[in-house]
Structure 1
Amino acid sequence: MSVLLIEPFYGGSHKQLMDLLQEELQEDCVLCTLPAKKWHWKARTSALYFMQTVPTSSNYRILFASSVLNLAELAALRPDLGKLKKVLYFHENQLAYPVQKCQERDFQYGYNQILSWFMPEHKLAHLEKVIGVKRNGDSYQSEGLPGQQESRAVMKTSDAHPESGLCEPQPGLCTTQHEGLPSPPAAPAQAEAPESTNPYQGEDKQWLTFNLSNILSGLDYQQRPLHIAWPHRWEHDKDPETFFKVLMKLKEQDLPFYVSVLGETFSEIPDIFSEAREVLGSSVLHWGYLPSKDDYFRALCTADVVISTAKHEFFGVAMIEAVHCGCYPLCPKALVYPEIFPAEYLYSTPEQLFKRLQNFCKRPDIVRKHLYKGETAGFSWAALGSKFRSLLAAEPREDL
């Protein structure tokens, strides 16, 4: 066992990446996690928790962690882990993450990230030379490295000393479900599923279980109403307000369409969801999180258009997955999207998004005949797997 994987927020794209690495690396890694709950608490305290639960081991060379972990704190609390090579994967930038309310930003989270990947100039120069990163102002961004695969992460590596925190002796998943910082568990416990607060679960079970293909099978493929998918977390940074206001405007004009609102929910759900559910009424085909990946992809395969209204995005796994399932993407002309999607799939304002959807509602056959003009193969494991393995196989060097 040479690779230690640490994920303090084991859910969504964070879980997806860690599971993929564990599956592909198999017995060469151990995964330690905390449940995908109370993100801010995990960002503040997970280093202290993993300091207590990670046994001392001489078997680990590399630590791979998401930036939810305060890497600097863990290295300080556990000097033995500081001798490992470290790879820190950024799913987002906390200094630029949109605040939900008009209030002073809590800079602690962004500060944690800065502490976790700060390196002296000679190390940065080494990165530029050896692993192909490109200087972008005062930061470094990987070119063609695996950071593009999952959350468009700026992948930061420190060859100096990896750190490791792992729930050692046995390979495989080593997790805990504690929210605070209790005594270390006597044995590894299986991670629980992310907490769901979907208000419709149990109120009307059909919204979670019906087969979309059965509903659509009786309608002519080219003539049935446009099917719009929104497969994102039900949180403010995905800007559901803009999305639903556009759909409600379509509804006001009696334009025919269906919508499937997918994605996970957590402790707080923006009010717009309950309002939109009532206004959209019979236009809703699906409303809520689909735990089964097969069901999720099946829903995407029946959709015609996938929409992003995000205000903060490093990559956008859900959009790429939907395109892979045959959806026509419409994304903001901002953030990372212009780097991934050709210009015809981008919009600049909500008004432009409305006009595109208005035309699609009138002629859904045009969307269904369309062949995507971009390229997604470069984001597959087939393209990126060898780069991940190379990154995680490199030995730390004492002169760095």
Structure 2
Amino acid sequence: MDERRCIIVEPFYGGSHKQLLNTVFGDVSSRPYTSIYTLPAKKWHWKARTSALYFSQQIPLVEKGSTNTTIFASSVLNLAELVALRPDLAACRKLLYFHENQLQYPLQKSQQRDFQYGYNQILSGLVADINLFNSRYNMESFLEKIPSFLKTVPDGRADAQQIVETLRIKSRLLYFALDLPPLDNYLSISKGDVLHIVWPHRWEHDKDPNTFFQVLEDMKTEQLAFRVSILGEKYNETPEVFKRMQEVMGDYIVEWGYQESKEKYYQVLSSAHVVVSTALHEFFGVAMLEAVHFGCYPLAPHGLAYPEHFPEECLYRTTSQLTKKLRYFSRYPHKTTKFKLDVSKYSWQTLREEYEQVLAG
């Protein structure tokens, strides 16, 4: 990767975006031909709208006609704007990584979809040389949604099918690379005799914490034996449900909140029996796959990216099916330990060569 100059551009440097860059590029300061330009992971909407202008002033000029430079950016960046503002970057090889797509992203009921975010991603994809998607679901849902999305344009519509065909030719699946530690140091951690459920997701509406809380309340009402750890990062606006959940579930809680120590986070995952997702959207599922690596049985919605990762037995179609599964495991927690799923195909060790080939061109 060091033979070419690589410019990394990340407008939302936090969470899984930061995790991927740290895994793939490691210590950038030790790579003489790699430079990284980032903005903090907050105010996502502002970063999507304005970061191109900011980065256009930060990235040094590239030698005219240079073909030895690769730009690696996430799709939060409006790549089309950046290249328009900085014509010297046009000759660079441009890789755009889609952690999510705004054509499929769920909205809160009171919101209307802002056309500009999805439109920016379409334009950026057309400007990029290669569009990389972290799951097949992410790629296909983006491409399939383009025609209906562009139909909302009142007149002067572009040929949507032509756009889809152009994007499909230069789109490919490249799974998110997980930096999975060896399990040797965690095998001695006991999962205990009482069902331990972990929910390790961002504290935001699209992860549907309300449904998860309702399931926990139902289990408590039935006086089922269980414990729960609520992990994951929270941002400026935390849904009110978390405050209520902490109050109601008090004695059932093992761990509460984001684990600053990765080691402690891994220990909590190792002590849990089941990892649950109630997500309204999931374009990959980093937290779920990490938990499975540490021996958790996954319970996830039947849809989104999950069918790519998990067998049918781990997927539920209704909330009542999720509750029924957890009810069963609360009575027989040892049954979860019989489940083994190899997630090594998502590991950096497995994916490293593929990433290096893409970056090297």
Contact 1:225–1:364 (CA under 8 A) maintained in structure 2: yes
Q: Which of residues 87, 101, 109 is equivalent to 1:93? A: 101
Quote the offset at 1:223 in angstroms: 6.0
Q: 1:245 to 1:322 in 2, by over 3 A?
A: same
Which amino acid in 2 is paired with 1:53? Q
Q: Which of residues 34, 42, 58 is equivalent to 1:37? A: 42
1:329-348 pair list within 5 angstroms: 329-348=298-317
Q: Which of residues 51, 54, 77 is equivalent to 2:56? A: 51
Normalising by structure 2, what TM-score? 0.81
For 1:199, the equivalent position in structure 2 comes to none
Distance 1:300 1:141 in 2: 40
For 1:140, the equivalent position in structure 2 comes to 168
Q: Over residues 70-119 of structure 1, what are the superposed CA-to-partner deviations in whole Å (9 max), with x where a residue is unaligned?
A: 00000000001111000000011111111113332111111110110126
Contact 2:199–2:229 (CA under 8 A) maintained in structure 1: yes
Quote the offset at 1:274 in angstroms: 0.8
1:264-343 pair list within 5 angstroms: 264-343=233-312
Distance 2:218 2:353 in 1: 47
Quote the offset at 1:371 in angstroms: 2.8
For 1:387, the equivalent position in structure 2 comes to 354
Which amino acid in 2 is paired with 1:300? L
Which amino acid in 2 is paired with 1:83? A
Distance 1:344 1:307 in 2: 13
Distance 2:254 2:96 in 1: 39
For 2:196, the equivalent position in structure 1 comes to 227
Contact 1:222–1:364 (CA under 8 A) maintained in structure 2: no
Distance 1:76 1:106 in 2: 22
1:1-400 pair list within 5 angstroms: 2-23=5-26, 26-27=30-31, 28-58=33-63, 61-118=69-126, 138=164, 140=168, 145-149=173-177, 224-368=193-337, 370-372=338-340, 374-394=341-361
Distance 2:303 2:17 in 1: 23
Which amino acid in 2 is paired with 1:388? Y
Normalising by structure 1, what TM-score? 0.74
Distance 1:254 1:301 in 2: 25
Contact 1:61–1:85 (CA under 8 A) maintained in structure 2: yes
Contact 1:238–1:310 (CA under 8 A) maintained in structure 2: yes
For 1:209, the equivalent position in structure 2 comes to none
Q: 1:148 to 1:223 in 2, by over 3 A?
A: closer
Which amino acid in 1 is paired with 2:106? P
Superposition RMSD in Å: 2.6
Quote the offset at 1:6 in angstroms: 0.7
Which amino acid in 1 is paired with 2:81? E
Contact 1:244–1:276 (CA under 8 A) maintained in structure 2: yes
Contact 1:89–1:147 (CA under 8 A) maintained in structure 2: no
Contact 1:229–1:262 (CA under 8 A) maintained in structure 2: yes
Distance 1:311 1:276 in 2: 19
Distance 2:249 2:123 in 1: 46
What fraction of aligned residue pairs are identical, expressed as a percent? 51
Q: Over residues 175-222 of structure 1, what are the superposed CA-to-partner deviations in whole Å (9 max), with x where a residue is unaligned?
A: xxxxxxxxxxxxxxxxxxxxxxxxxxxxxxxxxxxxxx9xxx9xxx67
The number of residues matched between the two structures is 315
Which amino acid in 2 is paired with 1:115? L
Contact 2:293–2:342 (CA under 8 A) maintained in structure 1: no
Which amino acid in 2 is paired with 1:371? F
Distance 1:140 1:41 in 2: 28
Quote the offset at 1:300 in angstroms: 0.6
Quote the offset at 1:21 in angstroms: 2.1
Quote the offset at 1:148 in angstroms: 4.6
Quote the offset at 1:140 in angstroms: 2.9
After TM superposition, the runs of 4+ consecutive aligned structure 1 residues lying more than 6 A away are: 141-144
